Amino acid sequence: MKKLILVLAILAVATPVFAAPSISLVNVGSGKVDVRYTGADPCNLPRAFALVVEVNKTAIITGISNYKTGVSTSTSKGYGIYPARIAIDGNGVVTGWGNPLADPCDPLPSGSDQILPSQKLVLEFGSLYAPVGYGSPNAPATDGNLCTLDVNCNGSTGTVDIKVTGEVTYRGGGIVLENGTTATVSATLAYSCGGGWPACWGYAAQCHGDTNGNGGQINTTDLGAFRNAFGRNYGDAQYDPCADFNRDGHVNTTDLGIFRTYFGTTPPGDCTPGGTWPPF
């Protein structure tokens, strides 16, 4: 019995305890939130992340950007392997790396639809690099940004919660480390949606002429809404805040200039949600 206790004590001393990285959400402005990891152990880096991202009230996630694609190298470190979305031809050649959205056919958490816009998504990130091991110049960094989320308040006011947790159904705690162990994930960001402003002021391209919030080309549908509101001010029955592209309480020639610039194009989704309400 004493020998057994001694062996267990030796194993306890010899078995290293690795630090697990933490996940955080950072509001970087203009409706964008970074998903970051920090504090990974260089002796036991994450091999993969499986994260559930969820927003409450009526807020939605409309886009995912700023993510790495491909293997990790000394000049482009990170987690850019997406097995659920990768495209490989008949010769085994990768023709597209895909994106972080998990496979909708996997046993995902209830409410996850994997279709943007969405209130609940599972995002997965994996690493591939060589040589493997401590000190590899191609290994992912111990701190980094996994992706950036486009968040639309979609009519919500005040504060909405953006939560990230581990996808535990078939990925353990949410982070799979290189030694095969897992680590849990839990982070929440209180995201400000302002107060009382019209829902359409949360559209990602409203400030560029998108009156209906479809995020597509500015076309005759948007033109009809703008024409009906042109020349109207806040307080008029026909004033339409969705056609007030600079959100100053007037639908006038300034808004017309914005509309002309983007008509017939698909504008960037970089409008800052909200504004002063009433507008003056």
Please give the average per-residue pLDDT across 155-160, as a whole number: 80
Please give the average per-residue pLDDT across 180-189, as a whole number: 93
pLDDT at 90: 93
Nearest to 277 by CA among 256, 257, 249: 249
From-to residues of CATH 1.10.1330.10 in the chain: 199-262
What span, in angstroms and rounded, lies between the C-alpha atoms of 217 and 212?
11
Please give the average per-residue pLDDT across 248-276, as a whole number: 92
**More confident position, 101 or 197:** 101
DSSP three-state, residue 4: helix
Predicted TM-score (pTM) of the model is 0.67
11-192: CATH, from 2.40.50.140, 3.30.200.20, 1.10.10.10, 2.60.40.680: 2.60.40.680
Mean pLDDT score across all residues of the chain = 88
- Given a cut of 90, is residue 157 above it in pLDDT? no
Least confident segment among 52-66, 188-202, 221-235: 188-202
Cis ω before 131 (30° cut-off from 0): yes
Please give the average per-residue pLDDT across 47-65, as a whole number: 95
Please give the average per-residue pLDDT across 242-247, as a whole number: 96
133-152 confidence digits (pLDDT tens): 899 999 999 999 999 999 98
- Tell me the torsion sign for CA atoms 138, 142, 145, 146: positive
Radius of gyration of the chain (CA): 24
From-to residues of CATH 2.60.40.680 in the chain: 11-192
What span, in angstroms and rounded, lies between the C-alpha atoms of 126 and 83?
8
Confidence of residue 170 (pLDDT cuts 50, 70, 90): low
Please give the average per-residue pLDDT across 26-52, as a whole number: 93
Please give the average per-residue pLDDT across 184-197, as a whole number: 83
**Which homologous superfamily is 199-262 in?**
Dockerin domain (1.10.1330.10)
User: In sequence order, which residues have a C-beta less than 8 Å from that of residue 91 and are 6 or more positions away?
Assistant: none
